[in-house]
Structure 1
Amino acid sequence: MSDPTIRGQAWDIIESVLDDATPQSEWAREQLRSQMESHPGNPERALLEHLIATRSITGEQSDASGLPEANLPSPDLPTPDEDYGTTVLFTRRSRRRIEAILGDRMLLTAFQPIHELSSRNVIGVEALTRFVSDDGASADHWFNEAASVGLGPDLEFAALQAALVAAEQLPENVYVALNLSPATCLDPRLRAFVEQSQLAVDRIVIELTERLAEDQYGPVVAALAPLRMRGLRVAVDGAGAGFGSMSQVTHLSPDIIKLDRNLIAGIDQGAGQKTLGAAMVEFARQIGADLVAEGIETQDELTAIMELGMTTGQGYLLGRPSVQPLDWAAWRTPAEQEASVSGSASPAT
């Protein structure tokens, strides 16, 4: 099992350097062995001194006649006691971790149901990525780590592919909301992924998970336009959380507006939240968008939003995310469930 501590990460990197038997790395291996002998039992210090000596952090060429003394860190670098390792020293390990996930497809898809509130029928799901790892890190951690080493879109596409394959087991009346960043929406691979999916394009919703910069609106709208013409829908997440979220709504003209959990939490007791919620209902009606209330956790919240005219929602009160196909099958409408039971009970001919 991998050790997630800084010391464990240092050992992982040291071992990978020493395991590299290519002639080009011989000098680096000797340098690292020397530093380990100078700092026995302190792999973090040995690794830092090795990196200083080889100038791998600053990108400068090594000068054999002027290497820093083993006991004196370079004046423009943090000392080994500072939390520098997780952001710079272990970039190589982070990249290896993400590449291992991409190579082995060590991820699953959980679907959280989105309900029509009056009937409680499931009309859609949000696809949420779950990582098969031994360190318990959240999905956000993995995606942030991937972005930090330039593999953000690659990991999102791996999650997208897993979700599209899993979605083939969902009831046919259910749409699938896929969380994507603006960078992935601009990636030319997205169109091929959607078009090659077994899922009908009009069942796919692209849910933007990040705020767009001002200069991204035009390119993102243009990139998604061909797919939207074929029925793909766009959702904006976190609406009602501030000016930035509403700016996205006005620029992107989304098909679905997802209200932020911070607006829904305690809305049954907050007069200001109710006023804003009612305004969002009318705003969505005016622009022809569906409104989804996110994060419904209490019966009082559910009652309040329905009284405001909200018709669609998701949250732990209505259904938790699940990776189990048996749970997904239960999201059929009563008519579909009856038809399924009748079909399975038909006598053989």
Structure 2
Amino acid sequence: MSVRVQAWGIIAGVLADTDPAGAAVRQRLSNSLDENPGVPERALLEYLLETRRSDANTVETLETAREMRLTPPTLPPHFAEQLDAIRSISRISALLENQMLMTAFQPIYGLEGKTVVGAEALSRFVSDDGAAAELWFAEAAAVGLGANLEFSALGSAAAAARDLPENIYVSLNISPTSCMDPRLPELFDHIELPIHRVVLEMTEDIPEEEYLQFISAINPLREQGLRIAVDDAHTGAGALSRMIHLRPDFLKVGRNVIGDVDKDGLQRALAACLVDFTDQIGTTLVAEGIETVGELTVLTELGISAGQGYLLGRPSVRPQDWANWNTRLDVDGLERHLAGPAGPAESHGRHGKKPS
């Protein structure tokens, strides 16, 4: 449903109310509508701004004003949820229209050769409130604009990837639902990034009821060279069984698997099992969130193919940083750096839609 249609619905509901207590509300909204003919969403937003300014002048403290927001008698309570949606739609629409997002990349190293083999694209949003990426994506999804924001982020990342070394792959975060969107194959017709360099990293589990549709949508692209990655957040027995059928190109495991793998025998055994499993199905295992040289050493010894994390390289929006990824990782230098006064790197977090 468009912003305009939702705005008309709210306005019609308010103006149709017959409660005498809301007469002033209806008159103010009607005046705003007269001042913005044919643009109901602007009329509604201007009315809300005027109402909030007026109400703020009648309360004793700013805290009371914040608590009041859009509660009676300012506006009938059954419209509050719709108004929140209107605000979110307006916010997301402005972000999309003004392209207020940029892309950071985090290097992914081949653990045996200690060279960069790929980079994960992480969305960064330019906003006054400094909201994290996952909050923007969650808000967009809640009002039906999740796919729009995802494809805007994909386009931004593909454009930024022109400055990456040409010999590495680019991992782009995407929901399984957006993989079934007809805009996905169209995207590859309009970007310069070759499809064989693209890895689509699933940000969510693939819903059981949509699994066959997902396979049908993604397989033609995989035949053209596209690769896919899934993470270990959903690797229960059922998910592992499904993975045998899906055969993803990459399985990414996080801190729940690799954390303290150099100190915890059970963690080491779990990681070793996943190495064996991925070898059997022809999938590359990637360790996310590597924080210590000890973890890096053990993961390399276990045969994990690739890794990323603050120890190896933080996300950066600077092309000059990306250019340095052509050099081999100096593990001895990492040890000397960590032994200094700065101490170990802060803990790793998920990104893109995941914070880093």
> Which of 223, 226, 234 is the aligned partner of 1:232?
226
Q: Which residue of 1 aligns with 2:58?
A: 40
1:39-58 matches, within 5 Å, as 40-41=58-59, 42=65, 45=68, 47-49=70-72, 53=76, 55-57=78-80
Q: Which residue of 1 aligns with 2:36?
A: 22
Amino acid at match of 2:36: T
Question: Counterparts of 2:130 and 2:116 in 1: how far apart (Å)?
Answer: 30
Structure-2 change in CA distance of 1:34 and 1:140 (3 Å): closer
Q: Which residue of 1 aligns with 2:341?
A: none
Q: Which residue of 1 aligns with 2:6?
A: none
Name which of structure 1's ranges 275-284 and 17-26 shifts more when overlaid on structure 2.
Answer: 17-26
> Does structure 1 residue 250 correspond to structure 2 residue 244?
yes
Q: In the alignment, is the contact (CA less than 8 A) between 2:244 and 2:281 conserved in 1? A: no
Q: Which residue of 2 aligns with 1:311?
A: 305
Give the match's secondary structure for 2:72.
Answer: helix
Question: Counterparts of 1:106 and 1:117 in 2: how far apart (Å)?
Answer: 35
Provide structure 1 residue ranges, at least 5 long, that are not aligned to the other structure: 1-13, 58-86, 335-349
Q: Which residue of 2 aligns with 1:330?
A: 324
Q: In the alignment, is the contact (CA less than 8 A) between 2:101 and 2:123 conserved in 1? A: yes
Q: What TM-score does the superposition give when structure 1 sets the normalisation length?
A: 0.75
> Which of 177, 186, 192 is the aligned partner of 2:186?
192
Amino acid at match of 2:76: A
Q: In the alignment, is the contact (CA less than 8 A) between 1:109 and 1:129 conserved in 2? A: yes
> Does structure 1 residue 279 correspond to structure 2 residue 246?
no
1:1-349 matches, within 5 Å, as 21-22=35-36, 40-41=58-59, 42=65, 45=68, 47-49=70-72, 53=76, 55-57=78-80, 89-238=83-232, 242-243=236-237, 245-246=239-240, 249-332=243-326
Q: In the alignment, is the contact (CA less than 8 A) between 2:165 and 2:326 conserved in 1? A: yes
Question: Counterparts of 1:124 and 1:91 in 2: how far apart (Å)?
Answer: 38
Amino acid at match of 1:48: T
CA shift for structure 1 position 312: 1.0
Q: In the alignment, is the contact (CA less than 8 A) between 1:212 and 1:248 conserved in 2? A: no
RMSD: 3.1
Question: Counterparts of 1:312 and 1:53 in 2: how far apart (Å)?
Answer: 56
Q: Could you report, residue by residue, the CA deviation over 1:146-181 in whole angstroms, capped at 9, with x for unpaired residues?
A: 101110000000100000000011111010000000
Q: Could you report, residue by residue, the CA deviation over 1:38-64 in whole angstroms, capped at 9, with x for unpaired residues?
A: 99234753722257538535xxxxxxx
Give the match's secondary structure for 1:90.
Answer: helix
CA shift for structure 1 position 311: 2.4
Question: Counterparts of 1:205 and 1:250 in 2: how far apart (Å)?
Answer: 19
CA shift for structure 1 position 112: 0.4
Q: What TM-score does the superposition give when structure 2 sets the normalisation length?
A: 0.73
When you count helix as a share of all residues, which structure comes out higher? 2
Q: In the alignment, is the contact (CA less than 8 A) between 1:195 and 1:201 conserved in 2? A: no
Question: Counterparts of 2:115 and 2:52 in 1: how far apart (Å)?
Answer: 66
Structure-2 change in CA distance of 1:54 and 1:313 (3 Å): closer
Structure-2 change in CA distance of 1:273 and 1:46 (3 Å): closer
Q: How many residues align?
A: 290
Q: Could you report, residue by residue, the CA deviation over 1:184-239 in whole angstroms, capped at 9, with x for unpaired residues?
A: 11110011112321111100000001012111211111111111000000101235
Q: In the alignment, is the contact (CA less than 8 A) between 1:238 and 1:258 conserved in 2? A: yes
Provide structure 2 residue ranges, at least 5 long, that are not aligned to the other structure: 1-24, 60-64, 329-356
Q: Which has the higher contact order (CA 8 A, sep 6+)?
A: 2
Question: Counterparts of 2:225 and 2:85 in 1: how far apart (Å)?
Answer: 40
